[in-house]
Amino acid sequence: MTPCSTAAFVPQGAGVKASGGEPALLAVDGVTLQYPSGKDLVTATWRVSFDVHHMDRYILLGPSGCGKSSLLKAVGGFIRPTEGSIRLRNNLVQKPGPDRMMVFQEFDQLFPWLTVLGNVMFPMSARESWSLRDRRDRAISSIEKVGLTQFADSYPHQLSGGMKQRAAIARAMAMEPDVLLMDEPFAALDALTRRRLQDELLKLWDDLRFTMLFVTHGIDEATRVGSRILVLSPHPGQVRAELACPDDFDAGQRKVLEQQITEMLFESKETAHEH
Ligand code: ADP
Ligand code: MG
């Protein structure tokens, strides 16, 4: 077997687009993101392109400051590209919507004064067409899917870290989003807990097959969690490559991939240029 044979190397500033095949669920095309800074502009990403397909575990990987969070916020509709476009199901993303749910770091976004059921139902008021009965049924079903039925009436402080993660994901999934956005959800955790939650996330994905866009700066996390990895150069973030990380990769193949990514990120330090 030849590990990483699916790796596609692309020049800086270019994007990664499959030709032909099914249309992308999420299409990011030539996206430049900039922030005002005094009289100047800070360029967070430069002409980044990529496609996310249904059931992808798509990773945005790059060093701190390369614009990963900015890209996720742009997909979330919280900030607008200065150049390029983001389309979900071929509709231009212009504002936040329940079709893109963000799961935040450490899952401490659960309200401590609400039960698991209360937490999962909370954002559903955004779904005006759903009746109260409907919302409750969907929440119960989502809680069941993540295996928390017995804890529906428990409060967050009564849950383990893994259960909080499942509750946070149940809440996001109950909204029936097209894509789950996760920004370094495990960054603040110790290595052992991180590993356990990564495994739990993968198990959940195995059961539910959702689409996720997952940001990390950890190479090992990228190869563990991801099915495809977009490697970004340091500030301003540009696409270095998109790499496939098939589920049947063994430990040795993952190591080779990680080595390849390490070299790529190291190399990009020397060739990156400012805009
Ligand atoms: P990452 O998530 O990869 O660490 P970010 O998207 O947070 O990167 O930031 C990318 C660049 O954009 C950084 O140089 C950062 O300082 C800048 N930046 C991010 N958010 C803002 C903001 N609200 N205002 C100004 N500059 C910002
Ligand atoms: Mg970030």
Select from 31, 35, 216 the residue to mutate for testing ligand 1; criterion: most ligand atoms less than 8 Å from CB: 35
Q: Is the CB of 42 under 6 A from ligand 1?
A: yes
Q: Are 3 and 55 in contact (CB under 8 A)?
A: no
Contact between 34 and 41 under an 8 Å Cβ cutoff? The reply is yes
Amino acid at 128: E
pLDDT 10s per residue in the chain (275 long)?
333 333 444 444 455 666 666 789 999 999 999 999 899 999 999 999 999 999 999 999 999 999 999 999 999 999 999 999 999 999 999 999 989 998 876 556 899 999 999 999 999 988 888 899 999 999 999 999 888 999 999 999 999 888 888 898 889 888 889 999 999 988 877 888 889 889 988 988 998 899 999 999 999 999 999 999 999 999 899 999 999 999 999 999 999 999 999 999 887 555 544 44
Q: Whose CA is nearest to atom 25 of ligand 1?
A: 35
Ligand 1 in contact with 35 (CB < 6 A)?
A: yes
- The answer, yes or no, to whether any atom of ligand 1 lies below 6 A from the CB of 135, is no
Gap from CA of 247 to ligand 1 centroid (Å) = 32
Q: Is 68 touching ligand 1 by the criterion CB < 6 Å?
A: yes
Tokens representing 49 are 């392109």
Return the half-sphere exposure (C-beta side, CA atoms, 13 A cut-off) of residue 241. 17
Mutate to test the pocket of ligand 1, among 31, 41, 48, 70 (most ligand atoms within 8 A of CB): 70
pLDDT at 4: 38
Ligand 1 contact via 70 beta carbon (within 6 Å): yes
Nearest CA, atom 21, ligand 1 = 35
Ion ligand 2, residue ranges at CB < 5 A? 69
Q: What is the dihedral of CA 70, 10, 257, 265, to 10 degrees?
A: -60
Query: pLDDT value at position 12?
Result: 42
Q: How far is the CA of 103 from the centre of ligand 2 (A)?
A: 13
Indicate the pairing of strand 179-183 with strand 100-103: parallel
What is the Cα–Cα distance from 263 to 82, expressed in whole angstroms?
Answer: 31
Q: Which ligand is nearest to the CA of 35?
A: 1
Residues contacting 199, CB < 8 A, separation 6+: none
64: Cβ below 6 Å to ligand 1? yes
Q: Which atom of ligand 1 is nearest to the CA of 64?
A: 4
pLDDT of residue 16: 67
Say if ligand 1 is within 6 A of residue 235 CB: yes
Res 254: pLDDT: 95
Distance 159 CA to ligand 1 centre (A): 33
* pLDDT value for 160: 87
Contact present, 21 and 81 (Cβ < 8 Å):
no
Atom of ligand 1 nearest to the CA of 66: 3
Task: Tell me how far the alpha carbon of residue 2 is from its chain's centroid.
Answer: 28
